Structure 1
């Protein structure tokens, strides 16, 4: 049975960093439904004789309520249409407010709807749109007042225009500061997430973040019945480099190797540093032949690095083990163990080579 959230918003998901867009989507949804409900109650009052409204405006209200519900149905489950439907809803609202202004002259407070409109415009459409709508509303009231059945007095109109200007200016400044604060907070959170998930030396995924990413990629691969492969990369004789040239030299080598690996893999692949000189690469939608080709390219790139330490260049090599899987329920731990075994086989065969550990379906 669908929840109230699913009924209101449909099945929607937002990525990290889209918090404000998610708020706009929900805000517009509630605004549309609230507008339709309030208008429906007013129409019910007319039907029961509680209040009297001009027939033409009753028709306008019915159209507004119907369009609000249609726009809500159009927005439901479609966050990519947010901006387009927000502009459409704003046009519908302005038409309804103008209808009330001219046809419900007995209600002096009908102009208040223009005031309630300004904050929503700034929230949904941004500062430029908010300024435009604020100025257009002020101009429309100033020019159109003379044509109203019961025009507002000069003093009342002056108060209305000044109040509209103040409200627009307030939300313009507040919106600018709020968005600036939101952007800084989002960037700060992104930096914190990056620090928490990446190795500080190489900027690769750390072990925890790497395995969490692999679990997600395995789930997707199994859902789409795709093969995937894992490379286990271990630098040869790395301890000797540290012992001979110092840990600073070792850090230089690790950074160079990491950068080289990132240049070889695809954007969809995941690369993690899982130990001192040990790395793992997850290759989605990749069979044994594709994994072997990429691993051999990576091995050659590492060998060609020749990073300079003091006055000499070091020859760096790596042993790479490959394991592939297309089995349902294959865990990352299981395939990583087989890739590790394949890497040790490469070590035993003389290092600086690629070894495969293929599974049978």
Structure 2
């Protein structure tokens, strides 16, 4: 393990983010770094006060010690748990406001203590969004304006005016920045989703293409290898499809393919996976399904295709399909081996007269490829 990965695991824990959680990943990691760095920096001030290098009001010194402990505990609570991010962000923001207010009241000798409020505003925008950022900016401006007169050493009117203007400017700056950042991430995510769809879907039927279909099936077989769950594959091949293309044209063939794809999709369970793996060839993966159950599903699908009422250019189109069925247990065969058996079963259906279902159990001696 290299230094970077070790440091990342230390700061963030074992946290996995989905492809569409890019911005959440940034916010989560930013908060982890912010909390750990903030706690360490505060402890440095505490140690400096303890050694006499940076004398400090005892009340605020206790506040800083409590702040460090609470932030470290909050960081430990957040590590590895992305679903806790929003709650952790709110708690950290509240702790910071209390800590900075304590410094403003109790550390009157430090004229620059007001800068902590400036640093708080970017964090509010980046962690919790524009609405919270604007609210924190407004509360900070109002709080400083009303509270300045009650400080042991109030800031001069010129200093307060400068602080107010800079706070407002900083708030508006990060409002524009955070809004554009969120917009960018949303557009990037939408573009990635569109690209993923284009890469995994057949453009005509909108079913999974062969690559995406087999990838999903292999993933399921790998995940179910320990349990040895049963699965069944159906290979659906439309009968005499070339004749439709030759006699009625490719436009008619396309309408047939789309109608069959819709029919198959509507007849399957949500857990089943359907893909177009060739010109007029469809493959269906039935998880947790015994071969005999799969054969019953195949017969229902065959009947649904046969009962389709299609016409093109005012002329009826009759469509039938031959279906091959093959079953297996996860871990005993690869998807390519199961598909090969289903393919052989489909050819038996063709040889038997078409428009029928044939089942050919997977040979247990066939090793995964």
Equivalent residue number for residue 28 of structure 2: 25
Deviation larger for 65-74 or 323-332: 323-332
**Conservation of the 8 A alpha-carbon contact between 2:100 and 2:117:** yes
- Do structure 1's residue 148 and structure 2's residue 151 form an aligned pair? yes
Distance (whole Å) between structure 2 residues aligned to residue 329 and residue 111 of structure 1? 68
SS at match of 1:230: strand
Q: What's the RMSD between the two structures over aligned residues?
A: 1.7
SS at match of 1:3: helix
Alpha-carbon shift at residue 360 of structure 1 (Å): 7.0
Alpha-carbon shift at residue 286 of structure 1 (Å): 2.1
Alpha-carbon shift at residue 125 of structure 1 (Å): 0.6
Alpha-carbon shift at residue 29 of structure 1 (Å): 0.8
**Conservation of the 8 A alpha-carbon contact between 1:221 and 1:228:** no
Deviation larger for 58-67 or 278-287: 278-287
SS at match of 1:282: strand
Distance (whole Å) between structure 1 residues aligned to residue 227 and residue 150 of structure 2? 65
Distance (whole Å) between structure 2 residues aligned to residue 223 and residue 6 of structure 1? 29
- Do structure 1's residue 230 and structure 2's residue 230 form an aligned pair? no
**Conservation of the 8 A alpha-carbon contact between 2:221 and 2:331:** no
**Conservation of the 8 A alpha-carbon contact between 1:221 and 1:284:** no
Deviation larger for 284-293 or 28-37: 284-293
Distance (whole Å) between structure 1 residues aligned to residue 245 and residue 55 of structure 2? 89
- Do structure 1's residue 119 and structure 2's residue 122 form an aligned pair? yes
Distance (whole Å) between structure 1 residues aligned to residue 293 and residue 15 of structure 2? 35
Distance (whole Å) between structure 1 residues aligned to residue 321 and residue 305 of structure 2? 7
After superposition, give the CA deviation of every residue in 1:282-321 in whole Å (9 maximum; x if it has no partner): 2222222432333223222222222221112212111111
Q: 1:11 to 1:226 in 2, by over 3 A?
A: farther
**Conservation of the 8 A alpha-carbon contact between 1:221 and 1:285:** no
Pick aligned residue for 1:170 from 169, 173, 181: 173
Equivalent residue number for residue 15 of structure 2: 12
Q: Which structure 2 residues correspond to residues 178-193 of structure 1 after superposition, within 5 A?
A: 178-193=181-196
Distance (whole Å) between structure 1 residues aligned to residue 293 and residue 107 of structure 2? 73
Equivalent residue number for residue 56 of structure 2: 53
Distance (whole Å) between structure 2 residues aligned to residue 93 and residue 301 of structure 1? 65
- Do structure 1's residue 196 and structure 2's residue 199 form an aligned pair? yes
Provide the TM-score with structure 2 as the length reference: 0.93
Q: Which structure 2 residues correspond to residues 1-361 of structure 1 after superposition, within 5 A?
A: 3-359=6-362
Distance (whole Å) between structure 2 residues aligned to residue 194 and residue 17 of structure 1? 14
Provide the TM-score with structure 1 as the length reference: 0.95
Alpha-carbon shift at residue 98 of structure 1 (Å): 0.7
